[in-house]
Structure 1
Amino acid sequence: MTIAFEKMHANGDDFVIVDCRMRDVTLPPDLIRRLGDRQRGIGFNQIAILRHCENATADLSFWNADGTSLAACGSATRGVAGKLMGETGADDVTVRTSRGILRCMRHPDGQISVDMGLPLLLWSEIPLAEAMDTARLPLAGDPAACSMGNPHCTFFVDDIDQVDVEARGREFETHPLFPNRTNVHFVQVLDPVRIRLRIWERGAGISPGSGSCSCAAVVNGIRRGLLSEDVDVLCDGGLLRVSWNGRDGVQLAGPVEPVFCGEWTA
């Protein structure tokens, strides 16, 4: 079996796109793990499967490198949007995900934005193991939680350079409070319109950037009264822009760059 693919990254958050619109390909979890292996495969944080859709430009599904599925991936969504806009010549497209139909746009500076949809704030939506205030979890470090289609746990810290992201990320990703595991991120608020963000992604580990994590971090910061509606998010890999007015969908904007394309043969 031969699988054609494209690899891209968004501020170092790397992902692979497999286009199944012309030729459907079955990608079971064990094969996704082989493709995601950075030593023996292609290597990526997430893989996006692109298929035909009747009521949007394309249908998207996402998988982590460990073979688990996820409902949202801001980086790969913007990467697929860029690919589709390149094909159509349009400056906006829609993609259907398990979060619904998302609108994506290309801006004059070349950055691509996506409406990531409404954040989920109820304990049962994230989900958590029991009912509680999701803005202040009963865990050491006083984190907040929300979902952008995948669960997120946000810690607000005074000095992000002093955080052991790997140790704390591993610890809280599998905490019993999160039955489906969780993304874990650490935020240092520089001022109401700027944060530094470091990320432990569920199923992928430390990541230099993540669209959904950036959105969740800003949502939780706004819920805590720490941030304004428009925030620059400085990840290890670069800068993203997140906007949320507290009512509508979360807007995510940033760069996406192709890396290479090829064919993988079993």
Structure 2
Amino acid sequence: MSTPAEIPGLLIGCDFSCSPSRRKPIVMAAGSALKGRVLLSSLERLDSLDSFEQWLRQERGWIGAFDFPFGLPRELVTQLGWPTQWLELMAHYAGLSRPEIRNTFADFCDGRPVGQKFAHRATDKPAGSSPSMKWVNPPVAFMLHAGVPRLLAAGVHLPGLHPGDSRRVALEGYPGMLAREVLGSRSYKSDDKARQTPERLIARKDLITALEHGQTRLGLRLKVSHAQRDALVDDASGDSLDAVLCLMQAAWAAQQGAPGYGLPADMDALEGWIVTSRI
């Protein structure tokens, strides 16, 4: 296991969109870590899925946390009769259209009692995450559909799920988990300009301050310049800050080191796991 002083190379946090555009891009936060401090070096915006895949294929090493699910609930997969090996399941899933996914999952939910409509992965409860079969608010099922096939096409390494280029390590992240640890139920972002309130701006400032002071269970401190801090505060959508939250998760995973990067030994290799959701 690496010590905080030995975290290697480039770290990445990705705030993902399944339909990226100039208005709602994919945001990639890049940084490095040393002695328990995570230094933000850049924020890059990608306005298409092709640009995302090209980014993944670059010849450089990194450890990254990506804000989209890497797997589906075993209960769902079993009931639908889909493949129960991860790679075969992802190939099957990639071959479906978004309307087919929506209709299949809606039919699944319609046959279940109120309060138990969605199937959940084991990681959802400790992370507080939405079920990966959810197709709206947020459309994480479509995010999986857009994201995982591109990770596979780029040949990256997905610990516990699929071997690939060990220089490029992709882990599933979830910024909402760290944000709730600091803010509780306070909201810090909105894509709706009418809801981009002073209260949410204050929440973003409080969240950044907590990250700078190392006030999360990760035990890592964020280091940003004044200009970077202002940029994170000013992005009322929260996309830039979400990418940085994922960067913090990537730094923690890198600190744990290969081969598991902090993923639990008993992780379900069909469902996947959100890194840092059980420490």
* TM-score, scaled relative to structure 1: 0.29
Identify which of structures 1 and 2 has the higher relative contact order when contacts are C-alpha pairs closer than 8 Å and 6+ apart.
Answer: 2
Greater fraction helix:
2
